[in-house]
Amino acid sequence: MRFIFALTLSLIFVFLVTLKTVFAYETGGVRFYEMPQACQCFPAHPASKTYISVKRHWWGESRVYTCLFTCLDRSRNLTQTTGTQRDSYIFWDDGDHFVCRGYVMKYQETPFSKDRMGYLKIGGIRPFSAAGSKIPELELWASENGCRP
């Protein structure tokens, strides 16, 4: 009887520790495809994106925008940093341009009209290495915190 009680308690403990790990990071309700590791960053919230400049041409568009990122240092302490990204497209935007780094876009069919085109929505988060991310503020954070590419 004691064995079953001890086993039940240990299973509950493992479940609670796992549950805390999964829900420990604020992401605006978007789920992770994989949990972040040390020296990785991920977007903090979908509504954190702010456009700085937009240039439209007859052949396409280019934009500069910022996103709020959460980064884990080697000790797994959290730091939030705003990162500046530049992106552009020529002739056609597939819907995956001008998205904060780390978001994985997922195709969603239009539910009530199968003959119409669907749209892309945020399907999840895939953390990325801050070093070598080509986002200047995150690369600076990585170098200051001893993270190497």
State the pLDDT at residue 12.
53
- How many domains, the chain? 1
Whole-model pTM? 0.74
Residue 134 falls within a domain, yes or no? yes
Q: What is the 3-state secondary structure (H, E, C) of the chain?
A: CHHHHHHHHHHHHHHHHHHHHHCCCCCCCCCECCCCCCCEEEECCHHHCEEEEEEEECCEEEEEEEEEEEEECCCCCEEEEEEEEEEEEECCCCCCCCCCCCEEEEEECCCCCCCCCCEEEEEEECCEECCCCCCHHHHHHHHHCCCCC
Residue 149 falls within a domain, yes or no? no
Residues spanned by the domain of 21: 2-144
pLDDT digits (tens, 9 = 90+) for 29-74: 788 888 899 999 999 988 888 889 888 888 888 888 899 999 999 9
Band of residue 113 on the pLDDT scale cut at 50, 70, 90: low
Residue 14 falls within a domain, yes or no? yes
pLDDT digits (tens, 9 = 90+) for 83-98: 998 887 776 666 666 7
Residue 59 falls within a domain, yes or no? yes
What does pLDDT average to over the chain?
79
